[in-house]
Amino acid sequence: MPIGQIVGGEYGEVLIRQKSGRTIEIGDLLAIDDLILQVLDLEYGSLLEKNDIERMSGMELEGYEETALMEEEIRNYIYAKAKPLVRIKDGAPRIPKILPPFFGNLERVNKEDFEFLDDPQDSLYLGKVRSGSQVLEVPIHINGKEALSHHILIPATTGRGKSNLVKVMLWNLIPKGYAGLLIIDPHDEYYGRNEKGAKDHPEAGKNIEYYSTDPPSGGYHLRINLSILRPWDLRGIVDITEAQNQALYVYYGKYGKNWLENLLTSSLEEADSHGVRETTLSALKRKLRLAFDISVKNEEVRPNGNIFVNKGSEALVRDIAKSIEDGKKVILDTSSLPEDKELLIAGIITDRIFKNYKSYKEKGELEDKPTAAIVIEEAPRVLGERAGRNVFHQIAREGRKFRVGLIAITQLSSMIPREILANMNTKIILGNEMKSERDAIIGSAAQDLSKDSKNIASLDKGEAIVSSIFTKFAVPIKIDLFEDLVEDERGSKKKLEFFG
Ligand SMILES: Nc1ncnc2c1ncn2[C@@H]1O[C@H](COP(=O)(O)OP(=O)(O)OP(=O)(O)O)[C@@H](O)[C@H]1O
Ligand SMILES: [Mg+2]
């Protein structure tokens, strides 16, 4: 029994009459011949004149005799508008360029309709195919090594499942050596210090590193030794003028790795002798003291907090970069840091990773390296127009050439410049209530989603559309609930123990 029949429309918007007694939902996937269509909108249809409909309704509402309609299921119905999503030709997915036959009968898709999907190399599991709110037992994988280096955007309104998705991706990536991950975690939600998290993975011990200002046993201290800072680390992170920037380089040129200390204790006379003006020097000193939380007493530089220190942790940035290159997943718990310090530290480490990868490319060693991906929450903080040029911008623009990518999470895609959005070649679009946000996402998607606005608005928690240059069509998926994944892992471990 078909669920509906094609009665009109045009390419990109096929009109389907729903069979009475059956229900078509927005987002449903319907199959006809070698085509799969996706429902984008629903509407009422009727063979009756508008006046007649309103008169009949009035009579019934106002208590006149009931107006029984002959053959009601024929006269009144529901229209679904659907777009051809994918055509399967010779076992492979293609962009559909045809219309399905007029009066053609449609059925809901089933598992067998997706036999054309294959498991790519270096695969990354994202979720299962979803038809409306129904989940099919069809896993969706993309080539993770490629997709990660071409950036992934995860846009959604709050509470729709962005963090859950990152947890799921991280979990699946832990055993895979093809990608190293740097996760900047301002909510301390990924490691699972007090709840389930990455630490519960059987391979967490060798593949997860956890840095925190207050690390549990097995974790590392997150702190930066001031001596490793270089003037360029501050670019786009500390707000400085051109003159101040020049002054940084003057001191760096003169004092090398001791530039910061010398600048902070510099006398006006000395500054003057380097051509640095008094106002520049004092403003710069103030900004640097504030940025790194340091004070200067009796010509001595003293860290006030426990993040920027002058003893120990000299190798932290180098170690983290090395771990990423070994395909490990490094989580930075920045939950106790103010935002500017979080971004400063994230910027310094990311910059080191990016520089290393650039040098590998120059030396022709990139082939052997895993993709390095950086997970950043509230991405407009670093990618927004106002953030200025920084290493994240740079990676968004040219990271893929060096196999360094971003996983950018945001509620506000519209705050990210269009060209950067367009560079994010995989978008895992979760529910979004705001039209302006949906427009920004749709306008930069890898597939034509111009008619999917309602579809995106109607996405429930964990429901997503994957639009990617690495998928032949925009795939509707349901993402697993992270806690279920962890349970499954435990279950299978128990089974193994049982069977011996
Ligand atoms: N795939 C899913 N399946 C079922 N429920 C989910 C799924 N993803 C998320 N949820 C539910 O929604 C809640 C919120 O999810 P999550 O914290 O991932 O949202 P978020 O988009 O990161 O929100 P925020 O913007 O506040 O960070 C979860 O606690 C969980 O209960
Ligand atoms: Mg979140």
Taking Cα atoms as reference points, which of 323, 344, 325 lies closest to residue 223? Answer: 344
Which positions ≥6 away from 278 have C-beta within 8 Å? 268, 271, 272
461 C-alpha to center of ligand 1: Å?
6
CA distance 159 to 258: 46
162 C-alpha to center of ligand 2: Å?
5
Tally of CA atoms within 13 A in the half-sphere of 378 that contains its CB: 9
Q: Is 343 helix (H, G, I), strand (E, B) or coil?
A: helix
Give me the pLDDT at residue 234, please.
Answer: 80
How distant is the alpha carbon of residue 407 from its chain centre?
A: 5
The label of the residue with tokens 């907090």 reads 305
376 C-alpha to center of ligand 2: Å?
11
Residues of the chain with pLDDT under 50: none
Ligand 1 atom with the smallest distance to the CA of 462 is 1
DSSP H helical ranges for 192-330: 204-207, 242-255, 259-264, 268-273, 278-292, 316-325
Ligand 1 atom with the smallest distance to the CA of 189 is 17
pTM above 0.95, yes or no: no
Give me the pLDDT at residue 299, please.
Answer: 85
Give me the pLDDT at residue 499, please.
Answer: 61
Query: Strand 123-131 to strand 475-478: parallel, antiparallel, or no bridges (unpaired)?
Result: antiparallel
- CB environment 120-131: b (16+ within 10 A), e (fewer): bebbbbbbbbbb
Which positions ≥6 away from 336 have C-beta within 8 Å? 212, 213, 214
Give me the pLDDT at residue 497, please.
Answer: 67
CB-based burial of residue 36 (10 Å sphere; 0-12 exposed, 13-18 middle, 19+ buried)? Answer: buried
233 C-alpha to center of ligand 2: Å?
27
Taking Cα atoms as reference points, which of 9, 29, 27, 7 lies closest to residue 18? Answer: 7
Q: What CA dihedral angle connects 175, 115, 426 and 469, to 10 degrees?
A: 120
Q: DSSP for 425-475?
A: -EEEE-----HHHHHHHHTT-SS--TT-HHHHHT--TTEEEEEETTSSS-E
Name the strand (E) or helix (H) holding 56: helix 50-61
Give me the pLDDT at residue 74, please.
Answer: 87
The CA distances from residue 168 to 25, 36, 172, 345, 403, in Å, are: 27, 28, 6, 25, 22
CA distance 101 to 83: 14
Cβ neighbours, 10 Å, residue 175: 13
Cβ neighbours, 10 Å, residue 395: 29
Q: Please, what are the domains in the chain?
A: 4-114 (no CATH), 123-222+314-499 (3.40.50.300), 226-308 (no CATH)
Which positions ≥6 away from 64 have C-beta within 8 Å? none
Query: E-assigned strands of 50-201?
Result: 76-89, 92-94, 105-108, 123-131, 134-143, 152-155, 179-185
Ligand 1 pocket at CB < 6 A: 156, 158-164, 411, 461-462, 479, 481
Please report which ligand is nearest the Cα atom of 481. Answer: 1
431 C-alpha to center of ligand 1: Å?
11
Ligand 1 atom with the smallest distance to the CA of 158 is 25
Report the nearest-CA residue for atom 25 of ligand 1: 158
Q: Is 131 helix (H, G, I), strand (E, B) or coil?
A: strand
Give me the pLDDT at residue 495, please.
Answer: 65
pLDDT 10s digits, 40-75 = 999 999 999 999 889 888 888 998 876 677 788 888
Give me the pLDDT at residue 335, please.
Answer: 96
CB-based burial of residue 112 (10 Å sphere; 0-12 exposed, 13-18 middle, 19+ buried)? Answer: exposed
The one-letter amino acid code at 4 reads G
Pocket test for ligand 1, best of 185, 412, 461 (most atoms within 8 A of CB): 461
